[in-house]
Amino acid sequence: MLVHPKFDPVAFHIWEWPIHWYGLMYLAAFGLFLWLGNRVVSRPWNAARGWVRRDIDDLLFYGVLGVVLGGRLGYVFFYKPGDFLKNPLEILQVWHGGMSFHGGLLGVIVAMAIFAWRRGFKFLEVGDIVAPCVPTGLATGRLGNFINGELWGRPADPSLPWAMIFPQAHDGGIPRHPSQLYQFLGEGLLLFIVLWLFARKPRPMAAVSGLFLLGYGVTRFVAEYFREPDDFLGLRALGWSQGQWLSVPMIVGGALMMAWAYRRAARLAAA
């Protein structure tokens, strides 16, 4: 049976300023977005639509604001609205933790809409550029969760070779699923490979975005069966977690978006 090594959350210091691993994971995510985004816009069909590398720089700026603001507000409203209503100043105390992917996604959607409006691009076209570059950021985020020893998994059979004890859980040494690594592999690496290969050829507008929503929704829904539900929420209706219920609209919306994209492309080809 494995035991989480309880990494020091501080990677190193610059003079007296602590540099946390989780911050480095965010930095890696933004760097990967720039590198991958530049490759995406350099593809002939995207360059022909007027995309240039400077657009990726600007998208990153908008995206960072969307991730931080949306992620924090999503956590506030999706997970602890009552607690933050009692102490609204704690909303600003992001150093205490508390970010929501689904809230961050909504924040990024708003950021993309503003970018598309200001630059004259179609919103769904912007989504197709961004989508293949997102899973690597999700992967680095899950690595950050694992290093911090947070968001651990549900109890696992002790005979499972990779079952892990998380001392941070203060649960008496119960072996658990390292669900952070499951999410790293699923919504991170696997989803990246699928999207990157899919987007290597011209696709109907909104197809890549739809596949991202569908793929993330499915991988997150499955991973939630191994992830310990938030203790202040527990399981909801049907025995599903809050994360699963928030993933259902993504699965349905992604499937509908892909169907719409290909039907629209067929109508345009027949016209």
Known binding-site positions = 142
With both helix axes pointing from N to C terminus, report the angle between 21-41 and 123-130 in degrees, rounded to the nearest 10. Answer: 120
Phi and psi (nearest 5°) for 166?
Answer: -110, 100
Beta bridge partners of 14: 17
Q: Is 245 exposed, middle or buried (0-12, 13-18, 19+ CB in 10 A)?
A: middle
5: its two tokens: 């090594």
**3-class DSSP string for 148-202:** HCCCCECECCCCCCCCEECHHHCCCCCEECCHHHHHHHHHHHHHHHHHHHHCCCC
CB 97 within 8 A of CB 20: no
Taking the CA atoms of residue 207, residue 209, residue 210 and residue 214 in that order, the dihedral angle to the nearest 10 degrees is: 140
CA distance 34 to 52: 12
Residue that has been written with the tokens 């527990």 in this structure: 234
